[in-house]
Structure 1
Amino acid sequence: MDEKVLDVHEKPAPARWIILSLQHMFAMFGATILVPQLVGLSPAIALLTSGIATIVFILVTRFQVPAYLGSSFAFIIPIQVATQTGGIGSAMIGSMFVALVYGIISLLIWKTGYNWIMKVLPPIVVAPVIIVIGLALSPTAISMASTIQVGDEKVYNLLHFSAALVTLAAAIICLMFFKGIISLMPILIGIIVGYIYSAFIGILDFTKVMEAKWFEFPEMLIPGVDYDFVITPTLLFLMVPIAIVTISEHIGHQLVLGRIVGRDYIKNPGLNRSLLGDGLGTLISGLVGGPPKTTYGENIGVLALTRVYSVYVILGAAVFAIAFSFLGKVMALIATIPTAVLGGVSILLFGIIASSGLRMLVDHKIDFGSQRNLVIASVILVIGIGGASIEFSDTFQIEGMALAAIIGVILNLVLPGRTNESLVDEKE
């Protein structure tokens, strides 16, 4: 392991502190603002809640885990579906119940240990569900990249598609041919290059930027004020099962982060504390109208590259994110990003999500010569991507990736021949 520059509890000098924290903020910036753009939420509230959630996470984990919490991509489709059926308030309610699941799982791990959750969520279940998330989003990415809204219809537009392709090319070049911090920010770099190209071809509208105030309070969604707090079985089964994936993602990030900084975060401060911190961040976000949260691989990459593990640098990034959310001009500028540009980075990002599921299967050496593994993966993929649903009434429906995740867990538990394969290696 390379020698650390700053350990977890060390503080950098003020000037260096600012630079390092801004670096972390920009590493997560592109992905965090992309999620609200896709689901109809405010980018400002996404930034605000990511900063608050990160601070809460660090407090709950007793200043031991230098992790940043950003917007979760796993909930994009569930939020879109919930919004279509019950309004954006339904998505926020669902997010709060996801946070409740985190709290319950955290309590169970605290009382009984973490081995049981590893058996419920082995790679053969988690990896295909991650693949489903990426591939199920692919039509959205292509539609955003290549079409424009004309009346009630979406029409193919080559000019806009060229903006998407330029954006995609910039992100790929950033990822493949650059090293250092630049290689960790392909989404942000792609958006910037695509935005400049969009200005060149004349598809930008700066009216909102001119009208925006320099200082503007983020647009919040408060339960009981902006929407009625109505809970339905369909809402719960639409959002809550996705926690299967995000909890697995959380465990994976804690393992990788622990290896980088030379600590065992599964045991200290404990998976129960880190999950609780993640859940509380998601709960607070849902209460004010932000998307669900998750730890971010981009920021873990920055830690590995810089070898600066200071939790205070992460806190600084959270403070900067909160400050940026109140800059009305900046948020209005973000709102002018063409849909085609967002579609361009989405093509890469959603593909990477799906590919990360494939990578998990390879890394854990999943044997597809086993009929058991073949059955579980096949059923999850077809049900999830095909959009299968179970409908008992107008108010109770389970569909898509939520149904795929539930069935995957059930198949893993009931089919014979279960192995000890786990998200956590035995040596952990």
Structure 2
Amino acid sequence: MKRSQDVVLDIKEVPNIGKWIIFSVQHLFAMFGATVLVPFLVGLSPAVALISSGLGTIAYLIITRGQIPAYLGSSFAFIVPIIGAKALGGPEAAMMGSFLAGLVYGIVALLIKRFGVNWLKRILPPVVVGPVIIVIGLGLASIAVDMSMYENPGAEELVYSSTHLLVALSTLAITIICSIFFRGFLGMIPILAGIIGGYTIAYFAGIVDFTGVIEASIIEAPSFLVPFVHYTPSFSWGIFALMVPVAIVTLAEHTGDQMVLSKVVGKDFIEKPGLHRSILGDGVATIIASLIGGPPNTTYGENIGVLAITRVFSIFVVGGAAILAIMFGFMGKISALISSIPPAVMGGVSILLFGIIASSGLRMLIDNNVNLEEKRNLIISSVILVIGIGGAFIKFNENISLSGMALAAIVGVILNLVLPSQNEPTETQISQGKNHSIT
């Protein structure tokens, strides 16, 4: 693969200490907003999420032999399953589900090592993955709207607030303006810029409480959730059915990310160090997160954007960002400041972010020339969308059910395997040079 632009720092290059710190801070800030948004939405610790993303990224760099400059952060695909798992058995159940999802990555990595990657592409073609990604985005839409409109979106009785809605819309406007009209660093961090701008507006609107920030220590251990220390893990088929099928989607998304990243950097990461190593690194990062109380990790589309713009490919810069994330996680003031962000601010950012997730699924269908005039493709996409967005579920007993996105993904895979096609399917890439990341 050829590189279209000059490289500022290649993969193995070590910058001088000044540039190292600046580049690593810039890289972390580009990932920061989305990384802390997921734990905020599902009720986990943002500080632990930062630490788990840092540890997961370091593990990923080691497993991929320092050949892929990728940062891992909280996965949006697991938001609804984590909420469902917590409803069944608390955060401990969600961690068990994350652990199982990480094991699936490991199993798939072994299969790819043994049989290659074409079997995965046949099971998860764009006609399946695209609609499921749309389901992920639109399935989260009500969460974003509730956070934007109500004083306490988690209360049993919702109270409409024009102040909260104004803050949410202002946050959304700042995020859009930074994304469209700014270039350089601000153009890379529209989510973070929107959160900071919205937080400032929320402060003057009187809906920010600084009590926690004032009381927090400068250095403070976050609220880890460690198995056999804070709880005794237990297996549940209900948690398995909620969490594990989501790995079907994130595996396809991961493959697409690696293809896009390969084109940006000018190296074939699918071939070397191999997709099996990359997927294994993703799985280990998710397992690490589950062992300390963080949300599942995934390779980030924001990472690709930063690399494409800055041309800084150094794994040492990415590793530096991971170390900074771990340090931030132990700073009590920073953790308390993140927790003080009003739901309206996060709701405003989420309106755009969840919409982009849904739109990226649509773009996947377009970029891969999925012909919806063919009845087979039309049926597969239609069934996935209605089952996923409609909230269909299969209930096996009081504790085990398969619902929403998980059910939609499984039905989509089955339909893709059993429905005949007029033309023999060719090897279809999950991505053709575009970024389809689910952050």
- TM norm. shorter chain > 0.5: yes
The separation in 1 between residues aligned to 2:200 and 2:168, in whole angstroms, is 12
Report the counterpart of residue 59 of structure 1 in structure 2.
62
User: Equivalent of 1:420, from 426, 434, 437?
Assistant: 426
Render the CA deviation track for 1:343-387: whole Å, top value 9, x for unaligned: 000000000000000010110011010000000000000000011
| Map of 1:197 onto structure 2 | 201
Instruction: Report the equivalent of 2:436.
Output: none
Per the TM alignment, residue 153 of structure 1 is displaced from its structure 2 partner at its CA by: 1.2
> What's the secondary structure of 2:44's corresponding residue?
coil
Tell me the equivalent position of 1:10: 13
CA contact (8 A) 2:33 2:191 kept: yes
Which residue, 273, 277, 281 being the options, matches 2:277?
Answer: 273
Per-residue CA deviations over 1:148-177 (Å, capped at 9, x if unaligned) read: 139641111000110000000000001111
Which of the numbers 319, 328, 335 marks the counterpart of 1:331?
335
- The equivalent of 1:178 in structure 2 is 182
The 5-angstrom pairing of residues 71-86 of structure 1 reads 71-86=74-89
Deviation at 1:227, TM superposition (A): 2.9
Is the deviation greater in 175-184 or in 39-48? 175-184
**Match 2:223 to one of 214, 219, 225:** 219
TM-score (norm. length: structure 1): 0.98
Aligned to 2:128: 125
User: What are the within-5 Å matches in structure 2 for residues 396-411 of structure 1?
Assistant: 396-411=400-415
Cα deviation, residue 425, structure 1: 7.2
Tell whether the 8 Å contact from 2:85 to 2:239 is kept in structure 1 after alignment.
yes
**Do structure 1's residue 36 and structure 2's residue 39 form an aligned pair?**
yes
Residue 337 (structure 2) pairs with residue 340 (structure 1):
no
Match for residue 258 of structure 2? 254
The one of 106, 122, 126 aligned to 1:103: 106
Instruction: Give per-residue Cα distances to partners, 1:111-141, cap 9 Å, x unaligned.
Output: 1111110111100000000000000000000
Unaligned segments of structure 1, at least 5 residues:
none
Does the 8 A contact of 2:368 with 2:432 survive in 1? no
Q: Deviations over 1:285-339 (max 9, x none)?
A: 0011000000011111111101111111000000100111111011101111000
- Partners of 1:261 and 1:15 in 2: CA distance: 23
Aligned to 1:89: 92
CA distance in 2, matches of 1:227, 1:344: 35
Report the secondary structure of 1:155's partner residue: coil
In structure 2, relative to structure 1, the CA distance for the partners of 1:424 and 1:378 (3 Å cut) is closer
- Where 1:230 maps in the other structure, the secondary structure is coil
Cα separation, partners in 2 of 1:425 and 1:199, compared to 1, 3 Å: closer
String of CA shifts for 1:63-103, please: whole Å, max 9, x gaps.
00000000000000000011011111111000000000000
Aligned residues: 427
Alpha-carbon distance in 1 for matches of 2:400, 2:67: 42
Question: Is 1:311 matched with 2:315?
Answer: yes
* In structure 2, C-alpha distance between the alignment counterparts of 1:11 and 1:220, rounded to whole Å: 33
Alignment check: 8 A CA contact 2:178 2:193 kept? yes
Question: Which AA in structure 2 matches 1:317?
Answer: A
How big is the shift at 1:242?
0.5
- String of CA shifts for 1:162-216, please: whole Å, max 9, x gaps: 0000000000001111112211211100000000001111111100011000000
**Residue 95 of structure 2 contacts residue 293 of structure 2 at CA under 8 Å; is this kept in 1?**
yes
Is the aligned partner of 1:236 residue 2:245?
no
2:228 and 2:382 map into 1 onto residues whose CA distance is 42
The residue type equivalent to 2:266 in the other structure is G
Is contact 1:145-1:344 (8 Å) kept? yes
Query: d(CA) in 2 for partners of 1:29 and 1:11?
Result: 23
Distance in 1 of aligned mates of 2:247 and 2:398: 24
Rounded to whole Å, the distance in 2 between the matches of 1:51 and 1:120 is: 32
Separation in structure 2 between the aligned mates of residue 149 and residue 291 of structure 1, nearest angstrom: 23
Q: Which runs of 4+ in 1 moved over 3 A?
A: 424-427
2:315 and 2:218 map into 1 onto residues whose CA distance is 30
Q: Displacement of 1:395 after TM fit? A: 2.5
TM normalised by structure 2 equals 0.96
Q: What percent identity do the matched residue pairs reach?
A: 57
**Residue range with higher mean Cα deviation, 175-184 or 369-378:** 175-184
Comparing 155-164 with 141-150, greater Cα deviation is found at: 141-150
Question: Offset at 1:421?
Answer: 4.9
1:302 equivalent in structure 2: 306
1:374-414 superposed Cα distances (whole Å, 9 cap, x missing partner) = 00000000000011001121122100000000000000000
SS in 1 for 2:413: helix
Contact 2:118 2:427 in 1 (8 A): no
Structure 1 residue 145 corresponds to structure 2 residue 151 = no
2:354 corresponding residue in structure 1 = 350
| CA distance 1:154–1:425, change in 2 (3 Å) | closer
CA-based RMSD: 1.3
Checking the alignment, whether the CA contact within 8 Å between 2:252 and 2:430 is kept in structure 1 is no
CA–CA separation in structure 2 for the residues paired with 1:18 and 1:426: 34
Whether the 8 Å CA contact 1:30–1:191 is kept in 2: the answer is yes
Contact 1:125–1:376 under 8 Å retained in 2? yes
Measure how far apart 1:256 and its partner are. Answer: 0.8
In structure 2, what residue type is equivalent to 1:10?
A: E
Q: Kindly provide the CA deviation profile for residues 255-291 of structure 1, in whole angstroms up to 9, marking residues without a partner as x.
A: 1111111100111000000000010000010011000
* One-letter amino acid of the counterpart of residue 341, structure 1: V
Are the counterparts in 2 of residues 121 and 423 from structure 1 also a CA contact under 8 Å?
no
